[in-house]
Amino acid sequence: MSKPKDPSGAPAGNAEQRRLQMVDIARLAGVSVSTVSRALNGSELVNAETRQRVAELARSLNYSINFGARNLRLQENKTVAVVVPYDARSRQHISDPFFLSIVGSIADALTDRGYDMLLSRVDAERLDLASHWFDSGKAIGVILIGQWRHHDQLNEMAARKLPLVVWGGEMPQQLYCSVGGDNVLGGTLAARHLLQLGRRRIAFVGDARLPEVWLRRQGYAQALREAGLDVDPALELAAPFEPGVATGVVRDFCVSRRDFDAVVCCSDVLALLTIQALRGAGRSVPDDVALVGYDDMPLAAYCDPPLTTVHQPVAEAGAELVEALLGQLRGERPGPRTLPVYLKLRESAPAAAA
């Protein structure tokens, strides 16, 4: 015999458990059960501080799972939260070309499937705050752009059964679903091409504390080893993606070091900054320094010189991210998805002469 169900479609026993959890939250928060209910539904009648406290207590009791399940059962909600973290120190703008491209790709994929998008930002030190949109019932799942430095927080959200897909690279001991370009291959292709041009002192520009950059650095190091070369730590620059912070760091590096003849940059924006810095230091691209960027944003073709870069499948990424999330909502457990990348040759590091 099937169990009786409450009005949300869940078994009555689950409804009673939720009621007990709400009582616990109310007791711990020092508010009434009705206030807890309003807070979890995002009511403006409850002040922001109380809503935050209640949400954190709800997360600790795994209360959030019931909201998403209820929304999905009743088909009340077809909104997906797309969350773009930011570094509080650099405040990388959402107008960054890569962010704009991938968010647009996700928006198109959601629209094609009849879903809405809720765009939000969280501090990259608190990636777990991205779960708020699911916990409050305002979104049926979360697509997060980038892993940043808190792989552990992403694993914790996945362990709570939060419907979550992350744009990024596959990492060891990963519990969450990721979709991303083949970063190791991208780093290898970039460095290998520069080696084929006869360059031997190849700098690496990017912050390897970020998982995707770390994987690209692995590919860069692999190509150097294949050529019988060691990685020189003096030629590695941990530049952030945000131009306002990276400009000075890259400029100082190019002025202080003149012993490199090529650069692998971990984004097209970093590549543009490096070209400007090299010119300021009296060096030309590609004659003095050959340079490869990463992402193949539309602006790469219109740089001076046009940018050789690793092409990421951003147009396809939106559909892959959305399908992975919808698969979770159907009860599937999709694993990490690694998308192919390739090198787009232009004038900053042209093809080797035949």
What is the Cα–Cα distance from 154 to 144, expressed in whole angstroms?
10
- Weakest mean pLDDT among 43-57, 292-306, 330-344: 43-57
What pLDDT does 73 receive?
43
Closest listed residue to residue 103, CA positions, set 145, 47, 59: 145
What is the Cα–Cα distance from 44 to 234, expressed in whole angstroms?
53
Asked if the model's pLDDT at residue 183 lies above 70, the reply is yes
Asked if the model's pLDDT at residue 3 lies above 50, the reply is no
- Length of the chain (residues): 354
- Weakest mean pLDDT among 39-43, 160-164, 280-284: 39-43
Q: Using alpha carbons, list the distances in angstroms from residue 305 to 2, 218, 287, 291, 352.
A: 69, 27, 11, 10, 16
What is the Cα–Cα distance from 238 to 75, expressed in whole angstroms?
46
Instruction: Categorize the per-residue pLDDT at 5 as very low, low, confident or very high, splitting at 50, 70 and 90.
Output: very low
Closest listed residue to residue 64, CA positions, set 16, 133, 143: 133
Instruction: Categorize the per-residue pLDDT at 354 as very low, low, confident or very high, splitting at 50, 70 and 90.
Output: low
Instruction: Categorize the per-residue pLDDT at 158 as very low, low, confident or very high, splitting at 50, 70 and 90.
Output: confident
**Residues 179, 317: contact at Cβ < 8 Å?**
yes
Mean pLDDT of the 159-178 span:
90
DSSP string, 129-158: GGGHHHHTTS-S-EEEE--TT-HHHHHHHH
Percent of the chain with pLDDT over 70: 88
Asked if the model's pLDDT at residue 309 lies above 50, the reply is yes
What is the Cα–Cα distance from 309 to 296, expressed in whole angstroms?
6
Instruction: Categorize the per-residue pLDDT at 63 as very low, low, confident or very high, splitting at 50, 70 and 90.
Output: low
Helix ranges (H only) for the chain are 12-29, 33-40, 48-60, 64-74, 97-112, 132-135, 151-159, 183-196, 211-226, 243-256, 268-280, 314-329
**Residues 77, 139: contact at Cβ < 8 Å?**
yes
Mean pLDDT of the 224-250 span:
93
User: What six digits make up the tokens of 179?
Assistant: 């979709």
What pLDDT does 40 receive?
78
Asked if the model's pLDDT at residue 1 lies above 60, the reply is no
| More confident site: 189 or 246 | 189
SS (H, E, C) 201-233: CEEEECCCCCHHHHHHHHHHHHHHHHCCCCCCH
Q: Collapsing DSSP states into helix, strand and coil, what is residue 236?
A: strand
Closest listed residue to residue 325, CA positions, set 62, 132, 121, 83: 83
Instruction: Categorize the per-residue pLDDT at 345 as very low, low, confident or very high, splitting at 50, 70 and 90.
Output: very high
**Residues 101, 41: contact at Cβ < 8 Å?**
no
| More confident site: 27 or 107 | 107
SS (H, E, C) 62-79: CCHHHHHHHHHHHCCCCE
Closest listed residue to residue 317, CA positions, set 296, 333, 303, 299: 296
What pLDDT does 9 receive?
38
What pLDDT does 214 receive?
95
| More confident site: 312 or 12 | 312
**Residues 353, 198: contact at Cβ < 8 Å?**
no
pTM assigned to the model: 0.77
Mean pLDDT of the 170-187 span:
93
Mean pLDDT of the 306-333 span:
94
Instruction: Categorize the per-residue pLDDT at 17 as very low, low, confident or very high, splitting at 50, 70 and 90.
Output: low
| More confident site: 244 or 323 | 323
What is the Cα–Cα distance from 38 to 32, expressed in whole angstroms?
10
Q: What is the mean pLDDT of the chain?
A: 86
**Residues 175, 295: contact at Cβ < 8 Å?**
no
- Weakest mean pLDDT among 111-115, 157-161, 273-277: 157-161
What is the Cα–Cα distance from 227 to 32, expressed in whole angstroms?
68
| More confident site: 213 or 147 | 213
Percent of the chain with pLDDT over 90: 55
Instruction: Check residue 343 and give left, alpha or beta (phi > 0: left; psi -120 to 50: alpha).
Output: beta
Angle between helices 33-40 and 48-60 (to 10 degrees): 90
Q: What is the DSSP letter of 284?
A: -
